[in-house]
Structure 1
Amino acid sequence: MKIAVFGLGYVGLVTATSLSEVGHQVIGYDADTDKLESLRNSEVPFYEPGLADLVSKNIDQGNLHFVDHIDWAIADSDVIFIAVGTPPKEDGSADLKSLYQVVESLGQMLERSITIVVKSTVPVGTNQAIDRALNALLESRGLQVSCDVVSNPEFLREGNALHDVFNPDRIVIGATSRQAFDTMRRLYAPFHFTCPLLEMEPASAELSKYAANAFLASRISFMNELSRLAETVGADINQVSTALGTDPRIGHHFLHAGIGYGGSCFPKDILSLRNMFWEHRIESPLTNAIQQVNSEQRHRFAKTIIEHLADAIDNSTIALWGLTFKPNTDDMRDAPSLEISQLLQKAGANVRLYDPVLNSAIKDRFPTDSQLEFVDDMYEAVHGADALVLVTEWTTFAEPDFTKVMQLMRTPNVFDGRNFWDPDFVRSQGFTYYGVGRPEIRFNQKGG
């Protein structure tokens, strides 16, 4: 099939590339001409493992093209994907400006019936509104055509996008015509032989995306709230998590306590979901609490560091390992490192920052300040440091040379924001160790 993809950000580029990989002819369009030029040279503007190689491969094979004219993108397309950003406004609602700009352009240029697929995350009712707006534009031009508008939310995990797109758990399709469902089944035939393709109304498809992200975020916030009790009563939240996860009704996913979630999806989608509740005058105390707990968790973690160092924090040096909101990405949107570093600076510390994919885009997200120092080596970060703070659990940090770290640090304090390391082992190396929801002293099991 011939596919056009409008919007070549994270979702759009992964969608375009994966569809071309299975043999579809794909044309990608974006309003950013610099981005298009980079993509034509197989330069991906963000870090996602394996994506650049796949883009290059499909460009070379002639399955993937990037154009800067809308009419070129839609000329022979069977299906048009809209994957533009829908960032939150100040009130938390989704900003659909870019989405409707695409719809207006399509309404002015289309000459025939075609399937329009909304991949962007949009509030419930948006697909219906797009359907009305697009077909009204076509009718105003005197065209006797009608386009199907389909909701097809994405469920990709940054850092694992290629695995997720080629091994989906489910494919959700929201449409109102049998023809639209059949078109989407044909398009996704190479993907859904191992997973269900779920047909539903557009509103249900739209809400399913928000429901999934809010539910996963709620699990994280629940464990983080529970970790506070664990710290107080001497329980280990990791052991509690294991006990919970072995219950088949619950499972192990998203039960890890730490310093909370970040990124573009969970925070944005929860804000948008809260706004939908508000618009429909429905109280949503649980949804409100998810984000509140998440925000508080970062402050609590920073407070632990500040209180431990006490008066010594003034002009101290604190090393942060991991800056991105999660491993295997360079995404800094709502990354915990931004807020934690700022809180430590305000307390008087000099903060030294390291990330395995440190680049100018990451550095630009931090304020220019003499108390911030970026380094290119994880061990350089801890040289002369009074505390080592693990913020993002990159595999690079899984087995550090703690002997070397001990020799380099001025004061051997370790604050593990992801419960990534074994507390007993780290303490046995001479460090003072703090995790999240883990007892300061473990109780030895008594022999029977």
Structure 2
Amino acid sequence: MKVTIFGIGYVGLVQAAVLAEVGHHVLCIDVNSKKIENLKQGILPIFEPNLSALITKNFKEGRLRFSTQEKKGVNHGLIQLITVGTPSDSNGFTDLQSVNSVVHSIAKYMEDYKVVLNKSTVPVGTTEKMQAIMVNIIKKRGVKLNFDIAFNPEFLKEGTAVTDCINPDRIIIGTDNKLVLKLIYELYSPFVQNRNFIILMDIRSAELTKYTANCMLATKISFINEISNLAERLGVDIENVRQGIGSDSRIGSSFIQPGCGFGGSCFPKDIKALIRASKEMGYHPRLLQAVEDINISQKNKLPDLIKQHFGNALHGKIFAVWGLSFKPNTNDVREAPSRTLMEILWNAGAIIQAFDPKSMNEIKLIYGFRKDLKLMKTKELALQNADGLIICTEWDDFQNPDLNLIKKNLKESVIFDGRNLYDPEIIQKEGLIYYGIGRGSSNRKKY
């Protein structure tokens, strides 16, 4: 099939590569000309495992192309996939400017039947409004053209997005149109063994399903973080509790890792958006509000432990920070806990020596040159003359460190483990002070 994808971010680029890999002819459209030219040279705007090889292969074989020309994109594909960003502001208002721009372009340039498949996360009712916009534009053009529109949410996880796209848990389609369903079955047939993988529902239900899925996962994270704070006060190790509840098949072990808060482009904004939508309907979403509040508080957990240890005397202190991305195997630093940590420490007069395997360029773009930020080439260099080590991201590279090297390089032998990577007993036996998240007596104080 011929497919056009509007928006070449995490979702669009992964979707494009995987669809091209199974034989579809994909044209990617983006307004950022530099991004398009870089992609033609094999330079990706994001890091995602296994993605670069797929892009290079399918571009060379002619199944994957890139352009800034919207008209060309509209004319290319029977399927018009929308994967542009829908950021939200501090009040949870979703910015639909990019989505509406694509819709306008499709309606303006289309010359024959199109299926518009929206994968961008949008408030309930948005797809219906997109349809109305297209009808109005086509009417003003004075032409008779047919199109159908459906909502097809994505459930990719950054860091495993390629695998998730090739082996989806499920594919949700919001439509009541049999022709659209037939075409979508054809589009996704290489990824599903049987049609039970495809869940059909109305458009509004599909829109709410996307928000609900992300908010449910965020709720699990905030819940375990809430319990970790209680465990700390009770002198209980949350890791024992986590294993105990995770072995229950009704709960499962996913998304119950305590830590220094969640970030990324999805969970924080989708929580805000659903809170806003609830309030607009006259309902106060108490649980969703608590999930957001707990996460905001949890991002302050590491700075609080650091201040507890050093007695607020942070001016001139140097801290090694391992991990800047919001999760491992990505270069995405949007809403990353590391950023909250660094900004708080900077305000207290501290200096950061940071290392991350993939996201240091992104941090450099955000913060520019600062005397109190040093981006180091290796995790070992980040340790030199530091007053303490802080773990913000659970990269594999940080899992089994040389404790003697850490102790030798740090001016004060203290580790603040925001992802509970290490066993407190092992760390303490090596003569290091250890603070984790909800690790019981290891960082218990009088409350």
Tell me how far 1:314 sits from its aligned partner. Answer: 3.0
**Letter of the 2:402 counterpart:** D
Tell me how far 1:68 sits from its aligned partner. Answer: 2.2
Matched, 1:186 2:186: yes
Matched, 1:247 2:248: yes
Tell me how far 1:374 sits from its aligned partner. Answer: 1.6
Q: 1:16 to 1:311 in 2, by over 3 A?
A: closer
Q: Which secondary structure state, in structure 1, belongs to the residue aligned with residue 12 of structure 2?
A: helix
Q: Is the 8 A contact 1:111 1:143 kept in 2?
A: no
Matched, 1:369 2:366: no
Q: Is the 8 A contact 1:135 1:146 kept in 2?
A: no
Aligned-partner Cα distance in 1 for 2:30–2:233 = 52
Q: 1:160 to 1:31 in 2, by over 3 A?
A: same
Q: Is the 8 A contact 2:391 2:417 kept in 1?
A: yes
Q: Is the 8 A contact 1:306 1:344 kept in 2?
A: no
- TM-score of the superposition, structure 2-length normalised? 0.96
Tell me how far 1:380 sits from its aligned partner. Answer: 1.2
**Letter of the 1:373 counterpart:** K
Matched, 1:28 2:28: yes
| Residue 282 of structure 2: aligned partner | 281
Tell me how far 1:84 sits from its aligned partner. Answer: 0.9
Q: Is the 8 A contact 1:318 1:386 kept in 2?
A: yes
Alignment of 1:304-343 (within 5 A): 304-310=305-311, 312-343=313-344
Moved more, 255-264 or 67-76: 67-76
Which consecutive unaligned segments of at least 5 residues does structure 1 have?
A: 443-448
| Residue 158 of structure 2: aligned partner | 158
Provide the aligned C-alpha RMSD in A.
Answer: 1.4
Q: Is the 8 A contact 2:424 2:442 kept in 1?
A: no
| Residue 263 of structure 1: aligned partner | 264
Matched, 1:227 2:228: yes
Alignment of 1:177-216 (within 5 A): 177-193=177-193, 196-216=197-217
| Residue 345 of structure 1: aligned partner | 346
**Count of aligned pairs:** 442
Aligned-partner Cα distance in 2 for 1:72–1:12 = 17
Alignment of 1:138-177 (within 5 A): 138-177=138-177
Aligned-partner Cα distance in 1 for 2:105–2:357 = 41
Matched, 1:75 2:75: yes
Aligned-partner Cα distance in 2 for 1:152–1:358 = 30
Q: Is the 8 A contact 1:384 1:410 kept in 2?
A: yes
| Residue 387 of structure 2: aligned partner | 386
| Residue 360 of structure 1: aligned partner | 361
- TM-score of the superposition, structure 1-length normalised? 0.96
| Residue 433 of structure 1: aligned partner | 434
Which consecutive unaligned segments of at least 5 residues does structure 2 have?
A: none
Moved more, 360-369 or 399-408: 360-369
Aligned-partner Cα distance in 1 for 2:312–2:198 = 59
Matched, 1:418 2:419: yes
**Letter of the 1:413 counterpart:** V
Tell me how far 1:422 sits from its aligned partner. Answer: 1.2
Tell me how far 1:358 sits from its aligned partner. Answer: 4.4
Tell me how far 1:275 sits from its aligned partner. Answer: 1.1
Aligned-partner Cα distance in 2 for 1:196–1:393 = 32
Tell me how far 1:316 sits from its aligned partner. Answer: 1.7
Aligned-partner Cα distance in 2 for 1:59–1:69 = 18
**Letter of the 1:50 counterpart:** N
Summarize deviations over 1:183-206 as a string: whole Å, max 9, x none: 111110001216610111011111
Aligned-partner Cα distance in 1 for 2:289–2:255 = 19
| Residue 445 of structure 1: aligned partner | none
Moved more, 262-271 or 340-349: 340-349
Aligned-partner Cα distance in 1 for 2:437–2:75 = 55
Q: Which secondary structure state, in structure 1, belongs to the residue aligned with residue 283 of structure 2?
A: coil
